[in-house]
Amino acid sequence: MRHADMPTTDVDIEIDASPDTVWALVSNIELPARFSNEFQGATWLHPDTPPGVGMEFVGRNEHPAIGSWQVTCTVTEWVEGRTFGWLVGDPEAPAASWRFDLEPHHHGTRLQFWAQMGPGPSGVTTVIGRNPDAEEQIVANRLEQWRANMMATVSGIKDLAEADISADGV
């Protein structure tokens, strides 16, 4: 797979907690930093305005191969209790797109975390530019790094949401 193919990856998990409980965690832009070894946190650019489509936040990241960086992200989907999606960088040519989707499932919630690479430039395109013959391996490795952090994030959200439920005695 090549970067120009805009490859995607996703993970999902079933959580024994209501969509409202899971949403409170998913919609907290700081929370994934507790579980990711790359994402370091985020800050809303206009914290006094309620989150929604068009809102922006700055994400902070760190990776051993490319160092630390910050990037502005734009919310593209915000349906309370259901979907939170955002683009990384230039909305016209994002470096990546990310989305959490929640759906009621049995007596809890199915949480999916999805990501798409490109089409815009990113650290991946910089590495590919230095090693064009290794593009497919670079993309595959990056997607696997994303997937590992995504799985850690949804597993952490599951643990927190289910602990909240048991703490309430439900």
Q: SS3 of 92, please?
A: coil
pTM summary value = 0.93
> In CATH, which of 2.30.40.10, 3.90.1150.10, 3.30.530.20, 3.30.310.50 is domain 3-165?
3.30.530.20
Q: Give the per-residue pLDDT at 151.
A: 98
Of residues 114, 87, 92, 90, the one with CA closest to residue 103: 114
One-letter amino acid of 45: L
Cis omega (within 30 of 0) for bond into 119: yes
Q: Mean pLDDT over residues 114-126, rounded?
A: 95
Q: Give the per-residue pLDDT at 164.
A: 67
Residue 169 has pLDDT above 70, yes or no: no
The strand order across the sheet containing 56-63 reads 8-15, 108-117, 96-105, 83-88, 67-79, 56-63, 39-44
Q: Give the per-residue pLDDT at 170.
A: 42
pLDDT tens-place string over residues 62-108: 999 889 999 999 999 999 999 999 999 999 999 999 999 999 998 89
